[in-house]
Amino acid sequence: MNIKKTDMEEKINIAEILKNKPQGTKLYNWLYNTNVELDTISTTDKETAIWCTKQKDINTTIYFSFSKLGTMKGWLDGLQILLPSKEMRDWRKFAWKKGDLLINSSGFQCIFKEWDSDDYTKFNGCYSNSRDGYEDVSNAETAKFDKLDNNIAYGYVREIERKLGGILNLETLEIEKAQPEFKDGDIVCMMDRFDNYRFIFIYRNEDDENFYYHAHITRNGFVNLGENEYLSKPRNYSVHLATDLEKQQLFDALAKKGKAWDAEKKMIVDLKKKVELKPFDKVVVRCSEADRWSIDFFSYKAPNGYICAGDAWFGYCLPYNEETAKLIGTTKDMEV
């Protein structure tokens, strides 16, 4: 068995690599010299286990369990027997993701797109640095390529975007139109492509490095407010006008803080407090909009209005205070 010593020394967490892979992903059990399929990753207080299956016949499924390091379950210091395939045994290469920048010994670079073979020995790429421009790459040999670090990849992607005049979406690997221009008060969603986290905020303005905002939802769900607050632009991000669902997330977070966004005034305002009347509270009442306001004592809320002292019914009822006192004897309206 030809296992790289560095793989064992580094103790690669295979469970971490496999946790987001689909059920049925093809793998190889070296101990039994057979192909298996990923089933589940299970975690308990004691250990994390990788479960794979092998269909022996129509009615029989064999289960295999491995430790998080790909050794026999319960033997972390044992030999690594779970491998990507019989032909390709490098877990670091198996962990390549769409959008990763790869390079071979000749300096040829391309962006990883997808596997082109079930044994992971071939892959397809795109945006290569060939002489003819950013071309696709088909059926490339996995063994001849390695992944470059994120700092180099960042520069490579920026150069692609500069030459092709847009933003490279690393999820779709399509060049998108340049960032739209936002105006003060727009509700915007920015996605950090490093961890796919979405920042939802009310746009104020921006410069080359930062977005300045009226309010934004933090990672723990709270709302930050401030005149000079800003979000630093990640190295690799996309940004768009917030969807209705994203807007509602922001509005709900503001409401929890007793705040709301006034789109006309372009400012954060206090939510009006809900008035809860108690029996014997002094109130200002009237039956209809055509009637004059008078004073009474609150009793209880009825399905079709308000009941006050003496079992009197009213259609409108406001708490008595310095402002509502001015309504008494008039038919004026007041928003509370």
Tokens describing residue 336: 């509370």
The yes-or-no verdict on residue 114 having pLDDT over 90 is yes
Q: What pLDDT shows up at residue 6?
A: 47
Closest CA to 243 of 206, 212, 211, 198: 198
49: which 2 tokens?
Answer: 């286990």
Counting the structural domains of the chain, the total is: 4
Predicted confidence (pLDDT) per residue in 189-210, tens digit:
998 877 778 899 999 999 888 9
Residues 83 and 129 in one domain: no
Q: Which domain holds residue 160?
A: 96-176
Residue 120 falls inside a structural domain:
yes
Q: What is the pLDDT of residue 7?
A: 52
Whether residue 275 lies inside any domain: the answer is no
Q: How confident is the model at residue 139 (pLDDT cuts 50, 70, 90)?
A: very high
Q: What is the pLDDT of residue 110?
A: 95
Scanning the chain, the segments in alpha helix (DSSP H) are 5-10, 14-18, 91-94, 150-164, 244-256
Q: Where are the beta strands (DSSP E) in 195-244?
A: 197-206, 210-217, 223-225, 230-232, 237-241
pLDDT band at 118, cuts 50/70/90? very high
Provide the CATH number for the domain around residue 105. Answer: 2.30.30
* Band of pLDDT at residue 98, cut at 50, 70 and 90: very high
Structure confidence at residue 48 as a pLDDT band (50, 70, 90): very high
Residue range 229-243: average pLDDT?
Answer: 85
Separation CA 134–CA 172 (nearest Å): 16
- Are 151 and 214 within one domain? no
Residue 57 forms part of a structural domain: yes
Q: Is the pLDDT reported for residue 1 higher than 60?
A: no
Query: In the predicted model, what is the mean pLDDT of residues 91-119?
Result: 95
Checking if the pLDDT of 5 tops 80, the result is: no
Measured in whole angstroms, the distance separating CA 55 from the mean position of its chain's CA atoms is 36
Asked if residue 246 has pLDDT above 70, the reply is yes
Structural domain includes residue 333: no
Query: Quick check: is 46 in a domain?
Result: yes
Q: Say whether both 87 and 101 belong to one domain.
A: no
**pLDDT value, residue 286:** 94
Dihedral of alpha carbons 37, 16, 145, 134, sign: positive
| 262 and 234, same domain (yes or no) | yes
Question: What confidence tier does 169 reach under pLDDT thresholds 50, 70, 90?
Answer: confident
Do 66 and 38 have their domain in common? yes
In this structure, are 101 and 87 located in the same domain? Answer: no
In this structure, are strands 305-308 and 259-262 parallel, antiparallel, or unpaired?
unpaired
* Same domain for 122 and 62: no
Strands (E) in 8-47, as ranges, are: 26-29, 34-43
Q: What pLDDT shows up at residue 175?
A: 86
Cα–Cα distance for residue pair 72/54, rounded to 1 Å? 16
For residues 290 and 266, state if they share a domain: no
Residue 3 within any structural domain of the chain? no
Q: In sequence order, which residues have a C-beta less than 8 Å from that of residue 228 and are 6 or more positions away?
A: 212
Q: What pLDDT was estimated at residue 271?
A: 80
In a domain, 335, yes or no: no
Q: Are residues 254 and 196 in the same domain?
A: yes
pLDDT digits (tens, 9 = 90+) for 7-41: 554 689 999 999 989 999 999 999 999 999 999 99
